[in-house]
Amino acid sequence: MASFSPPLSSTLPTSLNRVHFSRRNWLCFLQKRNQSLFLAKSIENGAGNVNSIATEEKRESSPVAVAEKKEEGAKKAESLGLNGTVSTSVKAEVPSFKDERWVGGTWDLKQFQKGGKTDWDAVIDAEVRRRKWLQDNPEASSNNEPVVFDTSIIPWWQWIKRFHLPEAELLNGRAAMIGFFMAYFVDSLTGAGLVDQMGNFFCKTLLFVAVVGVLFVRKNEDIENIKKLIEESTFYDKQWQATWQDENSSDKN
Amino acid sequence: MASLTSTTAAAVARPARRRSLAVRASATSVKLAGRPLRVAVVGGGPAGGAAAETLAKGGVETILIERKMDNCKPCGGAIPLCMVEEFSLPLDLIDRRVTKMKMISPSNVAVDIGRTLGPDEYIGMVRREVLDAYLRSRAEAAGAEVVNGLFLKFDAPQEPNGPYRIHYNHYDGAKGERGERRTIEVDAVVGADGANSRVAKEMGAGDYEYAIAFQERVRIPEEKMEYYRERAEMYVGDDVSPDFYGWVFPKCDHVAVGTGTVTHKADIKKFQAATRLRARDKIEGGKIIRVEAHPIPEHPRPKRVSDRVTLVGDAAGYVTKCSGEGIYFAAKSGRMCAEAIVEGSANGTRLIDESDLRKYLEKFDKMYWPTYKVLDVLQKVFYRSNAAREAFVEMCADEYVQKMTFDSYLYKRVVPGNPLDDIRLAVNTIGSLVRASALTREMKKITL
């Protein structure tokens, strides 16, 4: 961790080199004779466009070694001074997001009319598609066409109808099933009917646990997630208190 | 938010009360015969400079050891207003005043924050070499001895009130690169030597998790620079960083484009490329003039004080989460540590001991713990996933949020607002988070 201003030419392949170090050793001698050809090809390819170079060569060499040699070629090209600029070399091989209803950085609600009213479901679908697209293909943010869409323009009842209600139905169903069978089970064990059970404190506690369980544990992973959350919420505090733990233990000495 | 801060303040207050009840006869209130207390401050950044100045002003014999006087630190360089006031910084130190910040979400929703700033309010952008040199010169003017040297190690005292023996390489222009090995004896050591602190290693302070911040300084054409004259940008998204953010900060005559991460350090180049892509239109045609990287501590070291050696600034790990702010806390902790030493030694006349240094820790923890905790919670909630980041940017459009954010950043205090506004804010936050995560769940279902 000594120096933090590495020269430009060496920055590019260092991480790649570290990862492929072990493979590189035994692949290296296989590829030596092809090296000069690779270098020539990659320099003419132009430095900086790292992603697509692995697909070019169809030699018997494995893709790993190809990428590696290309990296070396790219590195040499860089040190030749070809690449000191923030160029647009990351060319968009994928087209940017386009949708005729996406106008001026937001969804044009007039194009979502259905039966005289806005079809909010379609707006939600369109936004989901846009976000998915951008997640997979991030784009440059632009000042000429800033994105100003805000999800709060979609009315609250639409969100409830589409997302909350199905989930609520599911959870209520689970709670009802658990409730019915637990009531039957406890009745068969103790003879207390539903009304009597509700008067009992232990049964009320069980009911509370069942409701909380249904609400918070919706998938199998949730149990682990809750445990992690609890630990996470106090972790930072513990890190800050660490120097005081140390003091208390030295007091006892 | 108010209840969160009060419970955490109470949690910190508890150890303090326990300690004051225990009557401890301090073994050292040794009056120093004929000489003032000697303290070595290792490291001449904001923490070291502030510490050395306060120590020297308090009558303590101070030596400040800095290894590179013209060190151009790779750093965001943003300082809050309270630092300008509290440290009486001359305004010409500040290269730029940032009054507008743009937050850009993963789907490029762009929100401008800064509408609530008054005409005199800004985030100051400084060049670290200028700020550091200024603080060191103030320390020197106050009476500290500023030495160009590299701290190597120290020898612990032989007997309970004995001196620490510091070994360092003294660099004198005449002697050339190698430097001359020297030793001095001091009564206390303040480690202000940054994230890779050697003092911390010597005293066995333990390790911390750190983020790698990687940035490129880019000189862009004049007309593009005009856009960044008073504006900084923050890009959030999984492509830019899985647990931090990418930024474009304006400097004196160029911009710094960078990103950082804790968990995926090996992919930092990929994240940097993604940041450049997101800012592509605005920095096109720019020339990279410098590439730099540095570690940012994520939390304090397990042990911040050991006998008469203590840590301040980045060496101690006082960098906030969420924003990664460290300059102000470094300077403030340096000053607070020095104040505790001056007080504990009665202006340099008595020897100090560990309890005096713990007083500084206690004061610092108590004063800034709520700030750190709130920022930690914000990071955990809003930097979790793309959905959370979308919600975060959406929330930033709210004026109340902007006002609270800037108040807490610029002045390091939170003026409790109207409780109704707080409730409205909570409801809106939850609403944003719910909407964003609902959209994300739908995103998982479709394939483009």
In the structure encoding, which two tokens stand for residue A12, read together? 């590019």
For residues B162 and A70, which has the higher predicted lDDT (pLDDT)? B162
B59 near B341, Cβ under 8 Å? no
In chain A, what percentage of residues exceed pLDDT 70? 60
Ranges A3-7, B88-92, B177-181, most confident: B88-92
pLDDT tier for residue B21 given thresholds of 50, 70 and 90: very low
SS3 A37: helix
Closest-CA distance of chain B to residue A89, Å: 10
- A52 is a domain residue: no
Write the pLDDT tens digit of every residue in A17-53.
444 444 544 444 444 444 444 444 443 443 333 333 3
Nearest by CB to A159, from B110, B438, B446: name it: B438
B143 near B62, Cβ under 8 Å? yes
- A30 is a domain residue: no
pLDDT tier for residue A243 given thresholds of 50, 70 and 90: confident
pLDDT of residue A250: 57
Residues B287, A86: C-beta atoms closer than 8 Å = yes
Q: Determine contact: A189 vs chain B, CB below 8 A.
A: no
For residue B75, give the chain A residue with the closest CA: A4
For residue A149, give the chain B residue with the closest CA: B109
Closest-CA distance of chain B to residue A103, Å: 14
DSSP letter assigned to residue A139: -
For chain A, give the mean pLDDT. 71
A/B interface, count of CB pairs below 8 Å? 176
pLDDT of residue B413: 80
SS3 B326: coil
What CA–CA distances, in Å, run from B316 to A36, A223, B46, B107, B262?
A: 51, 36, 13, 37, 18
For residues B303 and A69, which has the higher predicted lDDT (pLDDT)? B303
Give me the phi and psi of B237, to 5 degrees please. Answer: 155, 155
For residue B393, give the chain A residue with the closest CA: A150
B63 contacts: CB under 8 Å, gap ≥ 6: B38, B39, B40, B41, B144, B145, B147, B184, B186
Closest-CA distance of chain A to residue B402, Å: 17
Q: What is the pTM of this model?
A: 0.78
Domain that holds residue A242: 218-248
Write the pLDDT tens digit of every residue in B73-121.
888 889 999 999 999 999 999 988 999 999 999 999 999 998 888 888 9
In chain B, what percentage of residues exceed pLDDT 90? 64
Closest-CA distance of chain B to residue A181, Å: 32
Nearest by CB to A232, from B287, B380, B446: name it: B380
pLDDT of residue A136: 87
B93 contacts: CB under 8 Å, gap ≥ 6: B124, B126, B130, B131, B134
Nearest by CB to B300, from A6, A149, A243: name it: A243
For the segment B405-428, the average pLDDT, to the nearest whole number, is 86
Of the residues B308, B372, B378, B442, the best mutation for testing chain A's interface (the one with the most A CB atoms within 10 Å of its CB) is B442
Q: Determine contact: A227 vs chain B, CB below 8 A.
A: no
For residue B267, list chain A residues with Cβ-Cβ distance below 8 A.
Answer: 15
Write the pLDDT tens digit of every residue in B317-334.
999 998 889 999 999 999
Write the pLDDT tens digit of every residue in A62-73.
433 433 444 444
In whole angstroms, what separates CA A160 from the centre of its chain? 25
Which sign does the torsion angle of CA B437, B279, B126, B169 carry? positive
Count how many domains chain A has. Answer: 1
Write the pLDDT tens digit of every residue in B246-255.
999 998 889 9
Residues B109, A139: C-beta atoms closer than 8 Å = no
pLDDT of residue B176: 62
In the structure encoding, which two tokens stand for residue B318, read together? 């006082």
- A225 is a domain residue: yes
pLDDT of residue A77: 41
Of the residues A1, A3, A4, the best mutation for testing chain B's interface (the one with the most B CB atoms within 10 Å of its CB) is A4
pLDDT of residue A3: 41
pLDDT tier for residue A93 given thresholds of 50, 70 and 90: low
pLDDT of A81 strictly over 80: no
pLDDT of A99 strictly over 50: yes
For the segment B346-350, the average pLDDT, to the nearest whole number, is 90
pLDDT of A88 strictly over 70: no
Q: Determine contact: A237 vs chain B, CB below 8 A.
A: yes
For residue B208, give the chain A residue with the closest CA: A239
pLDDT of A95 strictly over 90: no
Nearest by CB to B300, from A146, A148, A239: name it: A239
For residue A229, give the chain B residue with the closest CA: B380
Nearest by CB to B281, from A12, A135, A143: name it: A143
Q: Determine contact: A15 vs chain B, CB below 8 A.
A: yes
Query: By mean pLDDT, which of A88-92, B69-73, B78-82 is the weakest?
Result: A88-92
pLDDT of residue B370: 87
Residues A141, B284: C-beta atoms closer than 8 Å = no
Q: Determine contact: A151 vs chain B, CB below 8 A.
A: yes
pLDDT tier for residue B232 given thresholds of 50, 70 and 90: very high
Q: Determine contact: A11 vs chain B, CB below 8 A.
A: yes
Domains in chain B: ranges and CATH: 32-77+127-208+302-383 (3.50.50.60), 209-297 (3.30.9.10), 384-447 (no CATH)
For residues B256 and B172, which has the higher predicted lDDT (pLDDT)? B256
Residues B196, A1: C-beta atoms closer than 8 Å = yes
pLDDT of residue B14: 46
**What is the side-by-side order of every strand in the sheet holding B123-126?**
B78-79, B123-126, B94-98
- Give the integer Cα–Cα distance in Å for B73 and B70: 9
pLDDT of residue A249: 62
Write the pLDDT tens digit of every residue in B127-148.
899 999 999 999 999 999 999 9
Q: Determine contact: A246 vs chain B, CB below 8 A.
A: yes
Write the pLDDT tens digit of every residue in B419-432.
998 899 999 999 99
For residues B11 and B163, which has the higher predicted lDDT (pLDDT)? B163
Nearest by CB to B227, from A6, A86, A143: name it: A143
For residue A244, list chain B residues with Cβ-Cβ distance below 8 A.
Answer: 15, 361
pLDDT of residue B28: 53
Residues B287, A140: C-beta atoms closer than 8 Å = no
Window A:74-113, CB contacts with B under 8 Å? 84-86, 88, 90
What CA–CA distances, in Å, run from A43 to A72, A87, A194?
A: 10, 16, 81
SS3 A61: coil
For residues B45 and A21, which has the higher predicted lDDT (pLDDT)? B45
Helices (H), B87-206: 128-142, 198-203
Nearest by CB to B104, from A15, A141, A251: name it: A141
- Give the integer Cα–Cα distance in Å for B328 and B78: 9
Nearest by CB to B287, from A84, A90, A132: name it: A84
pLDDT of B160 strictly over 60: yes
- A145 is a domain residue: no
* Rg of chain B, C-alpha, whole Å: 23
pLDDT of A216 strictly over 50: yes
B314 contacts: CB under 8 Å, gap ≥ 6: B45, B47, B194, B195, B197, B296, B297, B326, B330
Could you give the maximum distance between any two Cα atoms of chain A, in Å? 88
- A112 is a domain residue: no
- A170 is a domain residue: no
pLDDT of residue A248: 67
Residues B293, A84: C-beta atoms closer than 8 Å = no
pLDDT of A80 strictly over 50: no
For residue A128, list chain B residues with Cβ-Cβ distance below 8 A.
Answer: 439, 442-443, 446
Closest-CA distance of chain B to residue A190, Å: 43
- A173 is a domain residue: no
For residues B362 and A24, which has the higher predicted lDDT (pLDDT)? B362
pLDDT of B291 strictly over 50: yes
**What residues form DSSP beta bridges with B247?**
B234, B258
Closest-CA distance of chain B to residue A187, Å: 40
Residues B287, A12: C-beta atoms closer than 8 Å = no
**What is the side-by-side order of every strand in the sheet holding B61-66?**
B180-186, B164-170, B145-155, B61-66, B38-42, B188-191, B309-311, B305-306
